[in-house]
Amino acid sequence: MNHTLLAFSITLALTAPIPLIAADIPPGELAFSGDVRLGYFDRDREERDGTTSDNSDWRIRIRAGVLMQATPELSGKIRVAGRYSTDDSNEKHAEFFTSIPSTDGLRFGDSTIDELYLRYQPRNNWNLIMGRMQTKFELEGVAKKSLSRNDSPNTEITWTDGVYARYNDSSGWNSH
């Protein structure tokens, strides 16, 4: 099957960032965050027999969260995320999930809590997170710019449930 795929994306990110280190927020304080990604996607396909198909849609991902700094070492975060599309061929869902319902994250029309965790940082070189979180392990160099990451439409919603521990030693090594 011979086909041509054209994908055009406009991504808009409006972000109210939370500091990377939770200790930057005074104990007892809340920090709010949120972002919106909007994209237009057009896919044109030409078969060997000359038939063509065209499919296009607008997609949006919305996330809003709050971080609470309980003590200088202990913080917690909750974030709600939703993914939506104007594509009529997608099944309409409008469900709230606690587990990933499909292989590539949330389906269009679905929402969930994609972060709900406690973080303990007793020192700058230790970090312990327990709950639902975002995880990303990147290698420096070319591997960091993988095709799957660069070609992603940036509207998926996924998460990891579990415990994550990281130790950064003084020589620059990170142990996960």
- Tell me the whole-structure pTM to 2 decimals: 0.71
Strands 160-168, 126-133: pairing is: antiparallel
- Residue-by-residue pLDDT tens, the chain, 176 positions: 333 333 444 444 443 444 444 447 889 899 999 999 888 877 777 888 888 887 788 888 999 999 999 999 999 999 999 988 887 665 555 556 666 666 666 778 888 898 999 999 987 788 999 999 988 766 666 666 655 555 556 778 888 889 999 888 888 788 88
- Quote the strand ranges of the chain, DSSP E: 29-46, 52-69, 74-85, 96-97, 110-120, 126-133, 160-168, 174-175
For CA atoms 172, 161, 155, 120, give the dihedral sign: negative
Long-range contacts of 8-15 (CB under 8 A, 24+ apart): 8/40, 8/41, 8/42, 9/39, 9/40, 9/41, 9/153, 9/154, 10/38, 10/39, 10/40, 11/37, 11/38, 11/39, 11/154, 12/36, 12/37, 12/38, 13/37
